[in-house]
């Protein structure tokens, strides 16, 4: 193998493929990055079996071939080399030579035949969606996935297509996040993608309008983003029927400025902090919502103007779940739909009907 290529192009490609190299595997080959040079292009592949990422660049290939090198070391070397043409070629004794200006590295490589083969997926794309929209949809839901592995299916995000609607859904037993977009596809899809995969997908997606192509097989999903392919195993099992959890009716509806409410809740949550969670009480009155919290350190009272339809209510929440949802929402005004102090609270944008957040209340002894 012998290739020459500009440093920056190499660096970007390595940093993409490297996102699949977790360094957590005990198999040494999975700490490597596969470099495959052919037809004046070079493909870099990283994999941790569950998730594989490959990306292709144009390069001057004067000798075809493939090798595997330690992803972290190789990435650091390329990153530290000068901004100039880099030559990479196989040398003697299982090494590759990396030459740039007066720098010359000789790196032990691994056997490419030990590298796991990528699942072969027929790339008849099932549907497409602009990069920035998919990125926003992932960010709007992924925080609500379960962090513990007790119910593995909840560590993923449901990708659902039905009735020309594309829905992303995540829930962890305490709250739920749904984000929807209209999609011009008659397909019907119901698949759960690991949160870990979507974290990396979101990092690779750019804020542009170019399309991501998404293909499903019974066990895998393929994201094609420009010259990059991300293949991930799906989570096994049935996702919770989330629709039955979201109440369709409510007794009272609160309209409130999102940032104002968020700031009040963030301040109130300082007081009752125990680890990552903090209990706050909402006292929903005619024109105001009073937010209080107390602990042995002291107490806090915050007040925010609201428009209330329905009867006043007192309800308590873990502040983190409200904060997570309010932070990621985009409209300046939101509505909260409530029924009682022990029923879930549904949060939506005031105008655009493209997301639904649900948070379970905390039952208080004196309620």
As given in the structure block, the two tokens for residue 136 are 């926003």
Is residue 83 at the binding interface for a second copy, with CB under 8 A as the rule? no
- Which residue in the set 27, 245, 297, 307 belongs to the binding site for a second copy (CB under 8 A)? 297
Is residue 301 at the binding interface for a second copy, with CB under 8 A as the rule? yes
Provide the minimum distance between the beta carbon of 254 and a second copy in the complex, in angstroms, as a whole number: 17
Q: Interface with a second copy by CB under 8 A: which range of 70-78, 275-283, 312-320, 344-352? A: 70-78
Is residue 118 at the binding interface for a second copy, with CB under 8 A as the rule? no
Which residue number, 109 or 348, has a Cβ lying nearer to a second copy?
A: 109
As given in the structure block, the two tokens for residue 359 are 């948070």
Which residue number, 98 or 214, has a Cβ lying nearer to a second copy?
A: 98
Provide the minimum distance between the beta carbon of 91 and a second copy in the complex, in angstroms, as a whole number: 10
Which residue number, 303 or 330, has a Cβ lying nearer to a second copy?
A: 303
Q: Which of residues 97-116 bind a second copy (CB under 8 A)?
A: 102-108
- Which residue in the set 20, 81, 110, 142 belongs to the binding site for a second copy (CB under 8 A)? 81
**What residues contact residue 341 under an 8 Å CB cut-off, 6+ apart?**
313, 314, 315, 316, 361, 363, 364, 367
- Which residue in the set 128, 263, 277, 343 belongs to the binding site for a second copy (CB under 8 A)? 263
- Which residue in the set 16, 284, 304, 336 belongs to the binding site for a second copy (CB under 8 A)? 304
Segments in the chain forming alpha helices (H): 7-17, 71-80, 131-139, 195-204, 258-271, 319-328
Instruction: Compute φ and ψ for 82, nearest 5 degrees.
Output: -65, 160
Query: Are 156 and 233 within 8 A, CB to CB?
Result: no
Give the residue among 218, 224, 210 at the shortest CA–CA distance from 192. Answer: 218
- Which residue in the set 38, 80, 151, 164 belongs to the binding site for a second copy (CB under 8 A)? 80
Query: Are 17 and 30 within 8 A, CB to CB?
Result: no
Query: Are 95 and 107 within 8 A, CB to CB?
Result: yes
Which residue number, 190 or 305, has a Cβ lying nearer to a second copy?
A: 305
Residue 336, classified by CB atoms within 10 Å of its CB into exposed (0-12), middle (13-18) or buried (19+), is: buried
Which residue number, 203 or 327, has a Cβ lying nearer to a second copy?
A: 327
Rounded distance, CA 96 to CA 1, Å?
A: 9
Provide the minimum distance between the beta carbon of 40 and a second copy in the complex, in angstroms, as a whole number: 27
Q: Can you spell out the DSSP letters for 194-259?
A: EHHHHHHHHHH--SSSPEEEEEE-SSEEEEEETTEEEEEEPPPSPPP-GGGTS-S--SEEEEEEHH
Q: Interface with a second copy by CB under 8 A: which range of 33-41, 120-128, 174-182, 292-300? A: 292-300
Is residue 165 at the binding interface for a second copy, with CB under 8 A as the rule? no
Provide the minimum distance between the beta carbon of 273 and a second copy in the complex, in angstroms, as a whole number: 8
Rounded distance, CA 110 to CA 2, Å?
A: 16
Provide the minimum distance between the beta carbon of 326 and a second copy in the complex, in angstroms, as a whole number: 14
**What residues contact residue 200 under an 8 Å CB cut-off, 6+ apart?**
19, 20, 51, 53, 230
Query: Are 334 and 347 within 8 A, CB to CB?
Result: yes
Is residue 271 at the binding interface for a second copy, with CB under 8 A as the rule? yes
Is residue 298 at the binding interface for a second copy, with CB under 8 A as the rule? yes
Q: Which of residues 9-68 bind a second copy (CB under 8 A)?
A: none
Is residue 160 at the binding interface for a second copy, with CB under 8 A as the rule? no
Q: Which residues of 31-47 are buried (b: 16+ CB within 10 A; e: fewer)?
A: bbbbbbbeeeebbbbbb
Is residue 276 at the binding interface for a second copy, with CB under 8 A as the rule? no
Is residue 270 at the binding interface for a second copy, with CB under 8 A as the rule? yes
Q: Interface with a second copy by CB under 8 A: which range of 133-141, 242-250, 295-303, 359-367? A: 295-303
Q: Which residues bind a second copy (CB under 8 A)?
A: 70, 73, 76-77, 80-82, 95, 102-108, 263-264, 266-267, 270-271, 296-304
């Amino acid at each position: 193998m012998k290739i020459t290529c500009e440093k920056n192009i190499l660096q970007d490609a390595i940093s993409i493929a490297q996102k699949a190299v977790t360094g957590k595997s005990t198999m040494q080959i999975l700490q490597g990055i596969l470099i495959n040079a052919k037809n004046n292009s070079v493909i870099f592949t990283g994999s941790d079996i569950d998730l594989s990422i490959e990306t292709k660049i144009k390069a001057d290939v004067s000798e075809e071939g493939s090798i595997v090198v330690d992803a972290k070391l190789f990435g650091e070397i390329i990153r530290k080399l000068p901004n100039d043409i880099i030559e990479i070629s196989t040398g003697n004794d299982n090494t590759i030579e990396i030459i740039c200006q007066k720098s010359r590295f000789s790196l032990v490589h691994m056997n490419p035949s030990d590298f796991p083969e990528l699942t072969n997926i027929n790339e008849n794309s099932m549907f497409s969606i602009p990069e920035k929209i998919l990125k926003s949809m992932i960010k709007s839901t992924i925080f609500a996935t379960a962090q513990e592995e007790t119910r593995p299916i909840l560590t993923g995000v449901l990708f659902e297509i039905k009735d020309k609607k594309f829905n992303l859904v995540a829930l962890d037993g305490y709250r739920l996040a749904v984000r929807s977009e209209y999609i011009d596809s008659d397909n019907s899809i119901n698949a759960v993608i690991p949160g870990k995969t979507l974290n990396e997908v979101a990092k690779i997606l750019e804020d542009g309008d170019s399309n991501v192509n998404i293909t499903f097989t019974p066990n895998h999903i393929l994201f094609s983003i420009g010259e990059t392919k991300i293949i991930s195993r799906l989570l096994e099992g049935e996702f919770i029927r989330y629709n039955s959890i979201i109440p369709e009716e409510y007794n009272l509806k609160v309209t409130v400025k999102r940032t104002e409410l968020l700031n009040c809740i963030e301040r109130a949550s300082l007081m009752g902090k125990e680890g990552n969670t903090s209990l706050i009480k909402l006292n929903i009155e005619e024109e105001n919502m009073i937010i209080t919290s107390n602990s042995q350190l002291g107490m806090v009272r915050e007040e925010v103007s609201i428009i209330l339809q329905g009867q006043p209510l007192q309800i308590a929440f873990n502040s983190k779940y409200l904060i997570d949802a309010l932070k990621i929402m985009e409209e300046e005004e939101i509505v909260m739909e409530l029924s009682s102090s022990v029923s879930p609270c549904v949060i939506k944008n005031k105008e655009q009907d493209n997301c639904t957040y649900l948070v379970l209340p905390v039952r208080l002894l004196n309620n």
